[in-house]
């Protein structure tokens, strides 16, 4: 139902040009679905049911707003200048309901998402309240400025934002912060489907191909990421016999096509890193020096504290834990990021500083957002004789 709600929201926001109003209508429809479907059963077409109910809620809301506007003009016409006739008012409502015939592609490429505020906040490493305020401001800007919710004629101008959102969706599927199942394969596959659609719209974009290759590499490892109890299995410990070799070969081909365009970009570099992991027959065969070099290149293309964190881990694997710890000491702005502390803990443990490692693991446990990560950190702490 959540996936259908995301699609319905995209359709209605595009059709009416009001994200906030569409969001309210979809939420009302979802509440009504819970009540109605428990009593009457799930309809044959759940998405169509949600769309019809949410669509009717939006029409009712617009009619109430139009009626209120007429009453205000009659009571105090000087407050609304210039006045509109009822015919003009109806036309304005109709305009909000129209769909531009030039719009192309999948509605969810116009309004990609379906993620909750906490999930998005976790991805951007900001407090939920901060992210919620940004979303409210963005919705108001779209509404007040009349920004059309359609794929722009020059999609290249929006490609960076589009790819960011697609990868955000994929990552929430790959390691879910809002689901008890840890991995949401449906969400990861939906992100891949939308990225394939974006590739069709932008057939010459090396970065779209880079993102698609990156997603497919990660998707190939999903079946090996959890053990029988549903707990996370680290990359080095995964059963590579359970990796999808056909998907890895597919990703290799997509990445080769992207790199042949000779237009370097961050997603291509991340895909290259993923390929070095995916194509290593065993964990000990991993070329950590090449991975560290790729992260150094990624720092040049798209610098961020998270990239530096990942480079530190790769350097530690290539040159020893002390070299990695020295790089971690340079990372700023990630004090509330659990993976910084868990990475530090692992490197301290490799450097035989068990006391400091235990403290870092405990701090990571305090910050870890998902139950699977929390259980993993509990096991690491217990292995060091702590609680």
* DSSP characters over 289-353: HHHHHHHHHHHHHS--HHHHHHHHHHHHHHH-HHHHHHHHTT--S-TT-HHHHHHHHHHHHHTT-
Residue 79, token pair as written in the block: 């407050």
Alpha-carbon gap, residue 297 to 376, rounded angstroms: 31
Alpha-carbon gap, residue 194 to 212, rounded angstroms: 10
Alpha-carbon gap, residue 50 to 20, rounded angstroms: 17
Please answer whether residues 105 and 195 qualify as being in contact, where contact means their C-beta atoms are separated by less than 8 angstroms.
Answer: no
Q: Which residue has the higher pLDDT, 331 or 129?
A: 331
Please answer whether residues 52 and 32 qualify as being in contact, where contact means their C-beta atoms are separated by less than 8 angstroms.
Answer: no
Which region among 81-90, 95-104, 291-300 has the lowest average model confidence (pLDDT)? 95-104
The arithmetic mean of pLDDT across residues 310-330, rounded, is 96
**What pLDDT is recorded for position 307?**
96
Alpha-carbon gap, residue 79 to 81, rounded angstroms: 6
Cα 222 to the chain's mean position, in Å? 17
Alpha-carbon gap, residue 128 to 242, rounded angstroms: 36
Closest CA to 361 of 131, 375, 293, 267: 375
Beta-carbon contacts of residue 97 (< 8 Å; ≥ 6 apart): 15, 16
Give residue-wise pLDDT tens across range 41-97: 888 888 788 888 888 888 888 877 776 666 556 555 544 444 444 444 334 333 433
Domain residue spans of the chain: 1-98+126-141, 151-286
Give residue-wise pLDDT tens across range 144-201: 656 555 555 556 667 888 898 899 889 888 877 655 667 888 889 988 998 998 999 8
Most confident of 52-66, 115-129, 221-235, 300-314: 300-314
pLDDT at 17 over 90: no
Which backbone phi and psi does 232 adopt, to 5 degrees? -65, 140
Q: How many residues are recorded in the chain?
A: 387
Q: At what angle do helices 371-383 and 354-367 cross, to 10 degrees?
A: 160
* Burial degree of 317 (CB within 10 A; 0-12, 13-18, 19+): buried
- Percent of the chain at pLDDT exceeding 90: 45
Closest CA to 313 of 278, 273, 261: 273
Alpha-carbon gap, residue 251 to 206, rounded angstroms: 13
Alpha-carbon gap, residue 55 to 47, rounded angstroms: 12
pLDDT at 98 over 70: no
**What pLDDT is recorded for position 385?**
84
Mean pLDDT, the chain, integer: 81
CATH architecture for segment(s) 151-286: Alpha Horseshoe (1.25)
Please answer whether residues 231 and 378 qualify as being in contact, where contact means their C-beta atoms are separated by less than 8 angstroms.
Answer: no
Which region among 136-150, 189-203, 229-243, 281-295 has the lowest average model confidence (pLDDT)? 136-150
Return the SS3 of 225: coil
């Amino acid at each position: 139902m959540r996936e259908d709600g995301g699609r319905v929201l995209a359709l209605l926001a595009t059709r009416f040009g009001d994200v906030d109003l569409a969001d309210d209508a979809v939420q009302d429809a979802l509440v009504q679905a819970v009540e109605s479907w428990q009593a009457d059963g799930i309809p044959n077409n759940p998405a169509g049911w949600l769309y019809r109910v949410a669509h009717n809620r939006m029409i009712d809301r617009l009619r109430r707003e139009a009626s209120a506007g007429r009453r205000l003009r009659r009571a105090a016409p000087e407050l609304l200048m210039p006045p509109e006739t009822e015919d003009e008012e109806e036309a304005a409502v109709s305009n909000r309901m129209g769909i531009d015939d030039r719009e192309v592609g999948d509605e969810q490429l116009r309004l990609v998402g379906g993620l909750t505020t906490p999930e998005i906040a976790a991805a951007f490493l900001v407090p939920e309240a901060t992210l919620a305020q940004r979303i409210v401001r963005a919705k108001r800007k779209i509404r007040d400025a009349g920004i059309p919710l359609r794929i722009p004629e020059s999609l290249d101008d929006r490609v960076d934002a589009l790819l960011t959102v697609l990868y955000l969706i994929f990552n929430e599927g790959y390691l879910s912060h809002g689901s008890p199942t840890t991995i949401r394969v449906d969400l990861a596959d939906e992100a891949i489907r939308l990225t394939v659609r974006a590739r069709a719209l932008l057939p010459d974009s090396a970065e779209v191909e880079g993102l698609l290759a990156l997603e497919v590499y990660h998707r190939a490892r999903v079946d090996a990421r959890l053990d029988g109890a549903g707990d996370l299995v680290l990359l080095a410990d995964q059963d590579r016999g359970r990796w999808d070799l056909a998907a890895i070969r597919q990703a290799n081909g997509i990445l080769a096509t992207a790199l042949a365009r000779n237009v370097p970009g961050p997603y291509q570099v991340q895909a290259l890193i993923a390929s070095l992991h995916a194509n290593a027959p065993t964990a000990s065969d991993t070329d950590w020096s090449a991975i560290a070099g790729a992260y150094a290149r990624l720092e040049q293309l798209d610098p961020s504290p998270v990239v530096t964190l990942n480079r530190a881990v790769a350097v530690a694997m290539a040159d020893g834990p002390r070299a990695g710890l020295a790089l971690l000491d340079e990372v700023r702005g990630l004090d509330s990021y659990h993976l910084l502390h868990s990475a530090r803990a692992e490197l301290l443990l490799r450097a035989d500083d068990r006391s400091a490692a235990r403290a870092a693991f405990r701090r990571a446990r305090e910050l870890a957002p998902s139950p699977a990560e929390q259980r993993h950190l509990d096991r690491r702490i217990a292995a060091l004789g702590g609680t």
